[in-house]
Amino acid sequence: MVVDLSRALAGPQATMMLADLGARVIKVESPDGDDSRHWGPPFVGDDGISTYFLSCNRNKESVTANLKSEEGRSFLTALLQVADVLVENFRPGVLERLGFGEQRLRELNPRLVICSLTGFGHDGPEWQRAGYDQIAQGEAGLMSLTGPAGEPTKVGVPIGDLLAGMNGAYGIVAALFERERTGRGRVVRASLLSSIVGAHAFQGTRYTVAGQVPTGEGNHHPSIAPYGIFRTADVSIQIACGNDAIWRRLCQVLDLFVEDPRFASNQLRVQHRDRVTAVLETVLRGAPADHWLKLLEHAGVPAGRVRTLDEVYAWDQTRSQGLLVEVDHPTLGPVELPGPALRFDDNPYAGAREHHTHPPLLGEHDDSVRAWLGLTSAALDPGDKPWASTRPA
């Protein structure tokens, strides 16, 4: 069972991934709810439900508790004593001030795996900074690599949050596996900063090894050519020549001079990228995208469209991969949500679950979770019997 104290996106992304794998996730929210419940527009339905919240909270239960109150802390104590995992993305030090520092958590439950997600890390000179995705994208260098040169651009999704959530989820799974051998939990840490820097890939080694400082290069690859977006007679398409054999096949499709010495190798094509692009587009603009995509597919040249999201979700290939799931929401009725990325051979269309549940209403499971813990209104009195005596088996 996972206790989710997180809000916004990084932590909820991690816990949703665990929920997709079959974990029971109990989301503990303040009486005002997760921040993302208030992020919009768009809001949908008569109650004004945030689509942002819907994106990262399927398969969870919601309970409310004021962790600054005695009742709230007592409730959380009872929950943590039976939990396998705790996920939190408070600013560093907040959980300890609430009375749930690492030592206290170890006393409550030595087997507990604790996942702490932060903006810039739990130590170092700037450890106390708040973590917001766009700030992290800029500070971690990602914006300098995205968009045209001289125009730093954020990625169109909160990629730092998403990567931090993914790193947190796989760290939790590793810690749970280790716990089977040691019998003890451990602390898993990830941050928006570490997750973005960890995804620099070849752009990072361009600097650390070659001493180059990369900049944005728009929609073309800095180290491979042709590899990017090209205009046709109607809409643009993408072409990716990952090796010289594909380049030769592309030249045959476009009836170009394959042996042009300026373009004989990838290194030369990168050096003359603007000229390569101009030569290709001179031909490509003579016919519409559908014409070229059919020819390129037949020739074995990787190519594709640039789809809008409505086109993506209507695409048969998207639906064939189980990337949309339908849930029955108590106020919205049946709604479709972007689904889990993982597929398993015995259940290929729904992650590890046979059925997905709707992102919960605020406090929807207040009564059922407290009843499961054996708590009543009387039991919530600090003078009542110890919490451990009412824990479920």
Is the CA virtual torsion 96, 55, 191, 85 positive or negative? positive
CA distances from 382 to 96, 123, 127, 243, 389 (A): 20, 35, 35, 69, 14
Tell me whether residue 123 is one of the annotated catalytic residues.
no
**CA–CA distance, 145 with 38 (Å, rounded to integer):** 31
Are the CB atoms for 142 and 160 separated by under 8 Å? yes
| Closest residue by Cα to residue 18 from 113, 124, 99 | 113
Catalytic residue of the set 4, 47, 161, 234: 161
Please state, as a whole number, how many other Cβ atoms lie within 10 Å of the Cβ of residue 221. Answer: 16
- Number of helices (H), then strands (E), belonging to the chain: the values are 17, 13
Collect all residues with Cβ–Cβ distance below 8 Å to 110 and sequence separation of at least 6.
183, 184, 185
Q: Which amino acid is at 162?
A: L
Which H or E run includes 144?
Answer: helix 142-145
Give me the active site residues, please.
Answer: 161
